Chains A and B, each alone.
Chain A
Amino acid sequence: MSSQVANPEAVSQLHSSESHSSESHSSEPHSSRSSINQVLRLFGTEMRLFLRESQVLIFVFGFPVLTVLVLGGVFGNETGDSGFENINPQAFYIAAYFGVVLAAIGLIMLPAHVASYIESGVIRRFETAGFATWVFPLVQFMSGIAFAVLGFASLLATAYLTYGIPEILDWPRTLLGLGLGTLAFTSIGVALGVFMPSARAAQGLGLTMFFPMFLLSGGGPPPAALPDTMSTVANWLPLSHVTRAIQEPWLGLGDGQDHLLIVFAMLVVATGVWMIKSTRVSAAA
């Protein structure tokens, strides 16, 4: 017996430390680990794994911070610019870039991650190890929210250190917009990942959706600079509604009511999609 692979005697002792008899398992489930414990363990592991993915770090933290710095520097902080609805451009972009963080999570980070787990058989391992089928998507959902909070914090820190944090004129509605937007885009990310056939496909689709949304939904050119056709397209993009649901109450551009309703509808649909998919036995579909 080679000792290079493992130690059979020790393994033997490990197994003898508790009987395999049917009596020891006959009436109660063996595992002392509750589903909540599973969720917390997997959440901790997944957070560490996400932080090791360069693409996640670049798009959730690097890209929004660098781009808002550049655009803020280009357009300055003069109020009264009609292109920015008479709002200080730097304030306009800082509020808008909270939406860009969410787009990075929902279109790039989560879909590729979830799809890669399905494709490579990681989900299969969780299932055979006794993880409830809903644990994995729930943990992705939680991870998305956690990364959104971290992304928001990095944006606020950047704003604080450079152009200043714009005054929030309607706190409750702004927080509602941030909260619903976070939930909606996290849900969209999990749903996209569940349905994508491969990590490569998820990554391709995510990037294809991310950049148009980023450019047309408030993160790119000033809204007034968009031609009518582009404005119409922008109005149909999910990120536009999330951005406006945050921007309007924050900067006093409106109450964001209609946008909040649309974001809420997006949340319900996306959550329904991944919940239905994940509660089915994976291969039984």
Chain B
Amino acid sequence: MGNQTKTDSAVLEIDSLTKAYGNRQAVSSLSLSVKRGEIFGILGSNGAGKTTSVECAQGIRRADSGQVRVLGKDPIKERAQLRGRVGSQLQDSNLPDQIRVAEAVDLFADDRTQAKMAMSNWQLDEIAKSKFGGLSGGQRQRLFLALALLNRPEIVFLDELTQGLDPNARRTVWELIEKVRDQGATVVLVTHFMEEAEVLCDRVVVMAGGKLVDEGSPAELIERHSKGIRMRFEYDNADLDWIENVPGVTGVTPYGTEVGVTGKSQVIAHIGAALIQRGSIPESIRVDQPNLETALLKIINPNGVAHV
């Protein structure tokens, strides 16, 4: 926090944040910094403290100790000055069942022009008169995203935004999030979907048991916590020794008429080249690329307690 360069570019700074509910420690000594213009992911299992952290960042929960600065302001004491500069879609925040879509947009928009634009841009006109209680999951999320971005916020908190959406709608929302970031907004994304984090996030932190247990770009986390690429291909020759000498190979395991190979990312090309050189081109090669999900599973166990 004392680093001037970091402070200049940070739109969200959390320093030693601690929050407990009774005897349960929800967040413990969390420190992180989100830079302007990035999509920043907060990952972790259920109960890891992700939502509590963003709630504290938005000033709707008071931390037991620690400091939170959003756009250089205290989100509780300087709440009025942050009004309109912060957008959000938090888990469990809702609308009245009886409110119509157009009424909701009007209610939260700064003015009628902005409301009209949002209705049109988010294709809400077709459901303008529908009551919120009658909307599908996808329609609700579309409305929520429109509301979160209504007043052109500088930083947007999105908590499990794509939960309940079908794969097609989810990818559409991803594109929208990237577009929003491309226009200069900072996005803080809380998600359970590792693919979503891998596609969208510039940097992520992983929380477990209320603590930050790792951070970096998705690629860095994958590199750090995965065993590398796994390949499996048909090879009925008993001679496997040459494979161990291929650059990048870290392990060779025979499976009957197949052989499994693990190694670093360049191993695919080297193995392919070696097979061609030997004139032994297999009918099929299956490649298992490491991803953020496998990395995350290495970082946290199913009980949410950190290994690292």
B120 within 8 A of A: yes
Q: A124, B121: Cβ atoms under 8 Å?
A: no
Q: Which residues of B contact A279 (CB under 8 A)?
A: none
> How many residues of chain B have a CB within 8 Å of chain A?
63
Kindly provide the distance from the CB of B288 to the nearest chain A CB, expressed in whole angstroms. 29
B71 within 8 A of A: yes
Q: A7, B121: Cβ atoms under 8 Å?
A: yes
Interface centre among B11, B55, B151 (most CB of A within 10 A): B151
Q: Which residues of B contact A11 (CB under 8 A)?
A: 121-122, 149, 176, 179-180
- Across chains A and B, the number of contacting residue pairs, with CB separation under 8 Å, is 162
Partner of A5, one of B92, B93, B172: B172
Q: Which A116-146 residues have C-beta < 8 A from chain B?
A: 116-117, 120-122, 124-125, 127-130, 132
Q: Which residues of B contact A16 (CB under 8 A)?
A: 183
Q: A6, B142: Cβ atoms under 8 Å?
A: yes
Partner of B151, one of A31, A53, A282: A31
B36 within 8 A of A: yes
Q: Which residues of A contact B58 (CB under 8 A)?
A: 128
B-contact 0/1 string along A12-31, CB 8 Å cutoff: 11111111111001000111
Q: Which residues of B contact A48 (CB under 8 A)?
A: 103
A49 within 8 A of B: yes
Q: A128, B93: Cβ atoms under 8 Å?
A: yes
Known: A15-B185, A30-B85, A124-B93. A49 touches B121 (CB 8 A): no
Instruction: Tell me, in angstroms, the Cα distance from A32 to B110 when the chains sit together.
Output: 7
Q: Which residues of A contact B138 (CB under 8 A)?
A: 5
Q: Which residues of B contact A8 (CB under 8 A)?
A: 172, 175-176, 179
Q: B107, A283: Cβ atoms under 8 Å?
A: no
Instruction: Tell me, in angstroms, the Cα distance from A15 to B71 when the chains sit together.
Output: 19
Known: A5-B169, A30-B84. A49 touches B123 (CB 8 A): no
Q: List 30 A-B contacts (CB under 8 A).
A: A4-B169, A5-B123, A5-B142, A5-B169, A5-B173, A6-B142, A6-B146, A7-B121, A11-B121, A14-B118, A15-B152, A18-B152, A22-B36, A22-B71, A25-B154, A29-B80, A30-B85, A30-B153, A32-B111, A41-B107, A45-B106, A116-B96, A121-B93, A121-B94, A122-B95, A124-B92, A125-B147, A128-B86, A132-B80, A281-B62
A74 within 8 A of B: no
Complex: chain B residue closest to A33, CB-CB: B110
A36 within 8 A of B: no
Q: B62, A15: Cβ atoms under 8 Å?
A: no
A-contact 0/1 string along B157-187, CB 8 Å cutoff: 1000000000011011101100110111100
Q: Which residues of A contact B208 (CB under 8 A)?
A: none
Q: B60, A25: Cβ atoms under 8 Å?
A: no
| Ranked 3 nearest A-B pairs via Cβ | A31-B84, A20-B184, A284-B62
A161 within 8 A of B: no
B275 within 8 A of A: no
Q: Which B226-264 residues have C-beta < 8 A from chain A?
A: none
> How many residues of chain A have a CB within 8 Å of chain B?
51
Q: Which residues of A contact B95 (CB under 8 A)?
A: 122, 125
Complex: chain A residue closest to B94, CB-CB: A121
Instruction: Tell me, in angstroms, the Cα distance from A90 to B267 when the chains sit together.
Output: 95
Q: Which B46-100 residues have C-beta < 8 A from chain A?
A: 55, 58-62, 71, 76, 79-86, 88, 90, 92-96, 98-99
Partner of B183, one of A20, A120, A125: A20
B145 within 8 A of A: yes
Known: A5-B169, A31-B110, A49-B99. A15 touches B179 (CB 8 A): yes
Q: Which B12-67 residues have C-beta < 8 A from chain A?
A: 36, 55, 58-62
Partner of B185, one of A6, A10, A20, A121: A20
Partner of A14, one of B11, B99, B108, B121: B121
Q: Which residues of A contact B80 (CB under 8 A)?
A: 29, 132
Sample of 17 further A-B pairs with CB below 8 A, known A4-B123, A14-B149, A21-B184: A1-B175, A5-B169, A14-B152, A15-B185, A20-B183, A25-B85, A29-B81, A30-B153, A30-B154, A31-B84, A49-B99, A53-B98, A120-B94, A122-B94, A130-B82, A132-B79, A281-B60
B117 within 8 A of A: yes
